Amino acid sequence: MFPDTVYGNQSTQTRLASDTADDLIWGRYTSKISDTTLREAVGRIKFSEEHSNKPLHFVQTFASTLQSRLEGARSGRLLIVAGRSRRMATESHAVELKELLSENRTSIGGEATKTLGEVGTAIISGDAGEGVLVVQAKFAV
């Protein structure tokens, strides 16, 4: 059995460095898009920061609501991109995930949760759409 991916303690400095790296890499790749269709597609991507006492419940409900809107308008498909890492994790969502899976009457093995992460598992356990991409960055040593 392989251990979970766990990184060192976070601080204001590491969180700021992470946010800055995210902004820089997004800017680098989106500024080089020359294809008009792709540029329009990237322009439809929306970022938001939400706060909740039950973040997994929120994400599942939010994704499900977006999926319903898209199906009702017949205007496209929802693609959810979820990060999988414990580097900046301030807390574990294992208890909430267990509660969510119980509420949804969904049984997902522990290996799936280790592979997808808690957020990815929460999303696929509901009816949040067909497209979920879970990513994890590789950090050079």
pLDDT value for 4: 54
Buried-state track 22-33, b at ≥16 Cβ within 10 A, e below 16? eeeeeeeeeeee
- Whether the predicted pLDDT of 138 surpasses 60: yes
- Confidence grade of residue 57 (pLDDT, cut at 50, 70, 90): very high
pLDDT value for 92: 77
- Whether the predicted pLDDT of 53 surpasses 60: yes
- Whether the predicted pLDDT of 1 surpasses 80: no
- Confidence grade of residue 45 (pLDDT, cut at 50, 70, 90): confident
pLDDT value for 58: 92
Residue 90 host element (H or E): none
pLDDT value for 141: 47
Gap between the Cα atoms of 100 and 119, Å rounded: 11
- Whether the predicted pLDDT of 140 surpasses 70: no
Gap between the Cα atoms of 119 and 124, Å rounded: 9
pLDDT value for 119: 86
